[in-house]
Amino acid sequence: MKRPAAAVLVLLLAACFGAGLAQRSRSASSMPPTQAPQAASQPKMHSAIDQADLLELAAVRAPADFGEQAMAHMKAITNFGPRHTATMPTPGWTQQLDYICDQLEKSGLVVERDTWTDRKELLTFTNVRAVVKGKHKDRIVLACHHDTKCTQGHADPSRNFHFVGANDGGSGVAFLLAIAPVLLQRQNEATIELLFLDGEESLDWNWNNATRALFGSKRFVQRQRDAELLGKAERIRALVLLDMVARSDLHIQEELYSTTELRRILYSSAIATGHRDRFFRMAESASDDHVPFLDVGIPAVDLIDLKDNPHWHKATDTLENCSAASLQIVGDVVLTMLPAIEAQYFGEDR
């Protein structure tokens, strides 16, 4: 990142973060300060799955109003405006955190905030989590990031604009909030954790191998591993990441860092629910919040609509270019995936 000479701009640049990319084939109490995250390792890129080799899965349908419920959350979230942390966090960042916690608590869940200050960046971040209990204490994590790209204070004028991140940031949050009450009515084999991660977006405009990005997922994974070693946390058996899942012209690419078996479950679920045309027309890797989980051996899959997305990190990433129908489709697919993931990763425990 180039730092302009003017002191005001320096402060603005230091405050901002945004999920830029270089080659990304994407081509509750305050905690002590922590060391700045290091660059993400380069995960293994897998081959695309054989789309003829599918699992026979029974379709599970989301409630008929699931997409509309999720869109209502997106509307509330985008009304908060930009939602990123900074030396002085945007008002929307704080408002969204309160909204997430309030909505989860209204669903009957106990909410935990993990707030910390990064020692190097001198920025404060907050992850939010809530747990839906299942038969087994080990967990499947459904995750998203709640921060938006910072699009102000940049030396390049083309990178300064009003950005509400309806799809990139808003859709994952809205999806998890909408699915929470559905999961509470489900007979869950696994405990399911809903995880809202902060600081996914890069502090530099460009991605730079996630050296200044993925703050929340790196933090969460490190704390999880430390707690496991101390016998204070149950294992995470699998991660399903929701990132950009509401575009009107939805296309969830086959993300090639993701665990092969989970990609197979994902595509099989798309076929079972009749949504083949919205999934896996293209395959490409995307460095995202699932990478720190993969780094420590946790199977993970990323549902992301990034490849050839014309609204990514643009002012046009608004509600008008998102749809309840797309969120309904993803709801069907994720709910169909869950029994298959439970069978794959908890089958020997039944």
| Span between the terminal Cα atoms of the chain, in Å | 51
Domain ranges of the chain: 7-349
Phi, psi of 253 (to 5 degrees): -70, 160
Separation CA 106–CA 176 (nearest Å) = 14
What pLDDT does 38 receive? 54
- Taking the chain (350 residues) in consecutive chunks of 10 residues, what is each chunk's mean pLDDT? 36 40 36 47 90 97 98 98 88 98 98 96 96 97 97 90 97 98 97 98 89 96 96 96 98 98 98 98 97 98 97 98 98 98 86
Identity of residue 256:
L
CA distance 310 to 314: 8
DSSP summary character for residue 157: G
- Give the residue from 114, 49, 117, 127 showing the smallest Cα distance to 86: 117
How remote is the C-alpha of 42 from its chain's centroid?
19
Q: Look at residue 347 in the predicted model and tell me its pLDDT.
A: 84
User: Rounded to the nearest 5 degrees, what angle is found at the Cα of 311, between the Cα atoms of 248 and 1?
Assistant: 155
Six token digits for residue 146 = 């709640």
**Contact call for residues 78 and 90 (beta carbons, < 8 A):** no
pLDDT of residue 177: 98
SS3 260: helix
Question: Within 10 Å of residue 232's Cβ, how many Cβ atoms?
Answer: 9
Considering the segment(s) 7-349 as one domain, its CATH architecture is: 3-Layer(aba) Sandwich (3.40)
Instruction: Give the DSSP per-residue string, 127-149.
Output: EEEEEE--SEEEEEEEEEE----
